[in-house]
Structure 1
Amino acid sequence: MDISSDITKCETYKILSSYLASPDKTADTLDKFTAQAESSLSDDKLETNLRASWNSILHLASQQSYSSEKQDSLVKLLQALITQAPAPEDSKGKEVEVDGTKVWQGLPLFGQQVRECWNFPDDKEVDTQTRDTWINVNAFVARLTAAAVNEHGGERPGYNALDFSLYGIWSLRSAFEEELSNLPGKTTVDASLGAAAVWILYAGPTLKGLSDSEKSFSGKVAKPGFNCKDKEWRGFAKERWQLWVKELAQAEDKVQDGGIKDLVKKAAGAMEQ
């Protein structure tokens, strides 16, 4: 997880922290959030400001328990940004774009920032804080994906910037298609299985719908894990979903931590429904 704690000094971080303390003030927060970012239009620092804003959201999400309603509040704020925030205009009255994407409609650079923080150190045994942070950020991104894609695997209009379904494949692949015994320790195993479990808890119907419709991705980004290397999966598949169901049902005994064991058990029950 590459999210610097220095982001806590950012003004946007302070705005968002206040919002989580009073999540009913979405409209007020939206005004402050957009004003803070757009204040940098005149000095050509909008891109820098946007990256700081997205990192603030990701850092706050990673610090909230995977079961916290505060994560839902952050999802709600991003949805409001897309649908309610007025598009900023430049000096010529043209809607501002960053990296070819409209502000705020397309959440420019948000996807890049999510990708940059998606680096779990599975080459060494992690501590419990790193484990919990990884599970929390997976839960948040799963919530975003469920907001973007319905239970039939169809995109909800306007919310494509929140679709991180590929990341769901990555987490489920790591937990259920690779050899867990190759991981360096039990806490790292717990992190992998816990991350997969929250995807099922918060985006299970979405992932099932994508599996039924067999959504694929270009290239090999969604290729199968080592234990399934004979498969030709390039995305979601009914057969792949059934493997995940089977593996999750057997995962509880592989978990060390009692809380994560309960999480995995709960996810297994949800997956069977």
Structure 2
Amino acid sequence: MDISPEVTQREEYKIFSSHIANSDSTETTLEQFSKYTNSSLSNDKLETHLRETWNSILHIASQKPHSSEQQDSLVKLLQALVTQADPLNDSNGKAVEIDGSKVWQDLPLFGQQVRECWNFPDDQEVNKKTRDAWINVNAFIARLTATAVNEHGGERQEYGALDFSLYGIWSLRSALEEELSNLPGKTTIDASIGAAAVWILYAGPAIKGLSESEKSFSGKVAKPGFNCKDKEWRGYTKDRWQLWTENLAQTEDMVQDGGIKELVKKAVETMKS
């Protein structure tokens, strides 16, 4: 994961840390954040400010346990940014856009920052801190996706910027369609399996709905993993969901950490229910 620890020195990080540490109201945090954003706009530093904002949120999410109220709080704050934050206008009263995306409705650059941190070092044995951070950030992005996609696989239009369902395929594919024994160590295996499990725990109904509605993606971004290379999958499918259900149950014996074993058990129960 590529989230610089230097982000903790930024004002954006301090605002969001205060929000979850002190249970600040959403309205209070949005007001404080808006004031800081307006100063960034006047200083022509908006894009830098946005990247620091998203990095701050992602860093906090990676450090908070996936089941924590702090993650819930961050999800709700992003929802509020999309639907409640005052539109950002320039000096001429025109709505500010970046690459055609409105601030805040479309969360410009957020997707780019998520993609930049989506680089798990699976070519080496990781430590427990890296393992937990990877599982936590997967859970956070899964939570956002569950906000954006309903149980029938349909997108809630107002939260379209929070739909990262493709990332769910990437994590599930890594753990359930590749040869886990090829990974360099037990902690790395735990991280891969744990990441897949939290996607099911926090976005299971949405993922099942996407599978039943056969949502596909362009090109080969959602292609099958090596162990399923004979398949023609380009997204979510019913038989892919079935394979994930079967394979996730089989991964439990490969997990060394007791907490992650419990995650897997709960995820399998969710898939079978």
Q: Is this a same-fold pair by TM over 0.5?
A: yes
1:18 aligned partner: 18
For residues 111-190 of structure 1, the aligned pairs below 5 Å read 111-190=111-190
| Structure 1 Cα separation of the partners of residues 79 and 114 of structure 2 | 16
| Structure 2 Cα separation of the partners of residues 177 and 49 of structure 1 | 38
* Structure 1: gaps (5+ residues): none
1:210 aligned partner: 210
2:27 aligned partner: 27
1:250 matched to 2:247? The reply is no
| Structure 1 Cα separation of the partners of residues 116 and 72 of structure 2 | 22
For residues 35-184 of structure 1, the aligned pairs below 5 Å read 35-184=35-184
| Structure 2 Cα separation of the partners of residues 223 and 127 of structure 1 | 29
Q: Secondary structure at the match of 1:36?
A: helix
| Structure 1 Cα separation of the partners of residues 240 and 116 of structure 2 | 27
| Structure 1 Cα separation of the partners of residues 91 and 9 of structure 2 | 30
Name segments (4+ residues, structure 1) moved above 3 Å: none
1:24 Cα deviation (Å)?
Answer: 5.1
* Structure 2: gaps (5+ residues): none
Q: 2:141 is aligned with what amino acid?
A: V
Superposition RMSD in Å: 0.8
Q: Secondary structure at the match of 2:158?
A: coil
Q: 2:153 is aligned with what amino acid?
A: G
Q: Secondary structure at the match of 2:23?
A: coil
Q: Deviations over 1:6-49 (max 9, x none)?
A: 00000111111110023351110011112212211112110000
Q: Deviations over 1:176-230 (max 9, x none)?
A: 0000011000000000000000000000000000000000000000000000000
| Structure 2 Cα separation of the partners of residues 272 and 24 of structure 1 | 38
Q: 1:271 is aligned with what amino acid?
A: M
Q: Secondary structure at the match of 2:205?
A: helix
| Structure 2 Cα separation of the partners of residues 199 and 234 of structure 1 | 19
1:233 Cα deviation (Å)?
Answer: 0.3
TM-score, normalization by structure 2: 0.99
| Structure 1 Cα separation of the partners of residues 48 and 250 of structure 2 | 45
State the aligned residue count. 273
| Structure 2 Cα separation of the partners of residues 34 and 140 of structure 1 | 23
8 Å contact from structure 2 (residues 96, 103) kept in 1: yes
2:5 aligned partner: 5
1:235 Cα deviation (Å)?
Answer: 0.3
Q: Secondary structure at the match of 2:154?
A: coil
1:263 Cα deviation (Å)?
Answer: 1.1
1:99 Cα deviation (Å)?
Answer: 1.9
8 Å contact from structure 2 (residues 211, 241) kept in 1: yes
TM-score, normalization by structure 1: 0.99
